[in-house]
Amino acid sequence: MASRLELNREDNPLCSRNCNKETRQNKTENDLCISVKSAKDNLPVRCVGAWAEEKIYLLYQYFGIFAGGMKYKWKLNYIEICSGPGRCINRSSGQEFDGTAISILQHKCFEHINRAIFYDYNDTVVDTLNQRIQSLGLSHKAIAKHGDYNNPTSISNDLSQFSNDCLNLILIDPTDCSVPFSLLESIASCMPKFDLIINIATNTDFNRNIPMAFSDPNRAEKYIRFLGSDNFFNSRRNQALCDSKDYVTLRTYFRETYKKSLQRIGFNHFDYTPIRNLYDILFATSSSKGIEFWKKATKEIDASGQRSLLFE
């Protein structure tokens, strides 16, 4: 039986639409709109660009294959870091829709999940998402919690509750390259089996700051923490590429450096999926079956951006 992602779209007449950057800064707080509530449930919504739906489609596609394919082999858990409130609003169209968390919770394969935990550092986001989880009648198996990725052990200590007979899917969805690699090291130390999906702001945050990061050690520190290594900035080759403004090649080496750090903690299969020309979705797994599932999921997304969004 096939299922299709609908995202529960609904026009919000109160949205100003097409706000410029300065206006958005005045009307949002931590990306939450402070002037508009959801037309669906009167709870806070996150202001996003149109491309946000593409990430949700990709995650939804993979989740169905992952949970459907592994349901009889493992006890499955889903973890999301930087979860958001569960409902978004397209800043251009004024149309709101379900975010990643609510989309996963409403997937037909969510019934195969043992436990789902959603972390965010913003207490308003956590409270809002818990209200939405409760409205779906899923509080018995899903919860939103306060979690700051800059304090990795606060999250990893919580995740240590899962036993070694679990297979876990983790989505990390920041807006920039500020998630320290120590978070993944900390999680890997207590959770031996997990597949990782992470949003890497290659063409936005990193691309904008390449020249400053190579000239200013303080600027570089953020990306060193993200990569888990200072090798990228110590490379004469990379410095030369920066001097010649070959940022395309530098972005490639940036991705490769991150992959090498992931290999140190046990990952050996990788794939990148670009979301327009803004950021990359990186999938990492230690399982050949995992990368097979990911390839199957991304195959449904063709060059024109059209998606069948159909699941076995």
pLDDT in tens, 193-248: 999 999 999 999 999 999 999 999 999 999 999 999 999 999 999 999 999 999 99
**Helices and strands counted in the chain (H then E):** 12, 13
Return the number of other C-beta atoms located less than 10 Å from residue 234's C-beta.
11
Q: Tell me the pLDDT band of 51, cut-offs 50, 70 and 90.
A: confident
The residues near 292 (Cβ < 8 Å, ≥ 6 apart) are none
Distance in angstroms (rounded) separating the CA atoms of residues 48 and 53: 9
Q: Residue 198: name the closest of 181, 186, 219 by CA.
A: 181
Q: Residue 167: name the closest of 120, 117, 114, 119 by CA.
A: 114
Q: Which domains does the chain have, with CATH numbers?
A: 51-85+98-299 (3.40.50.150)
List the beta strands (DSSP E) in the chain.
Answer: 10-11, 28-29, 32-37, 44-48, 75-81, 87-90, 95-98, 113-120, 142-146, 166-172, 194-200, 269-275, 279-285
Task: Tell whether the model's pLDDT for residue 311 goes beyond 60.
Answer: no
- pLDDT (tens digit per residue) in 102-144: 999 999 999 999 999 999 999 999 999 999 999 999 999 999 9
The amino acid sitting at 10 is E
Backbone dihedral angles phi then psi of residue 106, each to the nearest 5 degrees: -95, 0
The CA distances from residue 118 to 92, 189, 262, in Å, are 27, 20, 22
Length of the chain (residues): 312
- pLDDT (tens digit per residue) in 166-202: 999 999 999 999 999 999 999 999 998 999 999 999 9
Q: Tell me the pLDDT band of 260, cut-offs 50, 70 and 90.
A: very high
Task: Tell whether the model's pLDDT for residue 302 goes beyond 70.
Answer: no
Average pLDDT rounded to a whole number, residues 284-295:
95
pLDDT for 177: 97
Task: Give the residue with greater pLDDT, 25 vs 237.
Answer: 237
pTM above 0.85, yes or no: yes
Spell out the alpha helix ranges (H) of 71-216. 100-105, 123-135, 152-159, 181-190, 207-215
